Amino acid sequence: MTDNDEGLRLSRQIQNQRTSLGGHEANLKRLRILSGGEGSMVCELDVLPSDRNSHGTLHGGMICTLADSVSSWAFHVVERKQDSVSTDLHVMFMKPAKIGSTIVIEAHTVKRGKKMAFLEVTIKDKEKGFIVAKVSHSKIILDVGTKLLKSNM
């Protein structure tokens, strides 16, 4: 198995783990991962009527979810033993994606420090090639075993 094959396998494994938890990311089961590994991931998604906003185009919240999740998954292909949480997600909405179109989501880890990771995402219209959104995403890297919420159980 080549490094690219292993990266793609790990990317799909992370997608399956995260979407099977039943939370918000469960909506991303239909995301098709095209490539992954070494802190990067490329996916595509068909924009459905259920993804629309009141203007009939891809909802900004869905764009944010895609950017947050895909860049996090790309990061965790390399950093599988440590958890992370988002500290900042900056989105520049550039042109709306229409219902029925296919978008391509390209995520890259720009830098990984001791406590922070910096990621970038570009979302494009697959057929026409225009940029739908550009995203910068920062994450804090948690120490192994860190719990975010204390359980009352």
Helical (H) or strand (E) element with 68: helix 60-78
pTM: 0.88
What pLDDT, in 10s, does the model give residues 67-85?
999 999 999 888 767 789 9
Cα–Cα distance measured from residue 31 to residue 46, given in angstroms and rounded to the nearest whole number: 8
What pLDDT, in 10s, does the model give residues 5-15?
888 888 888 88
Cα–Cα distance measured from residue 37 to residue 49, given in angstroms and rounded to the nearest whole number: 31
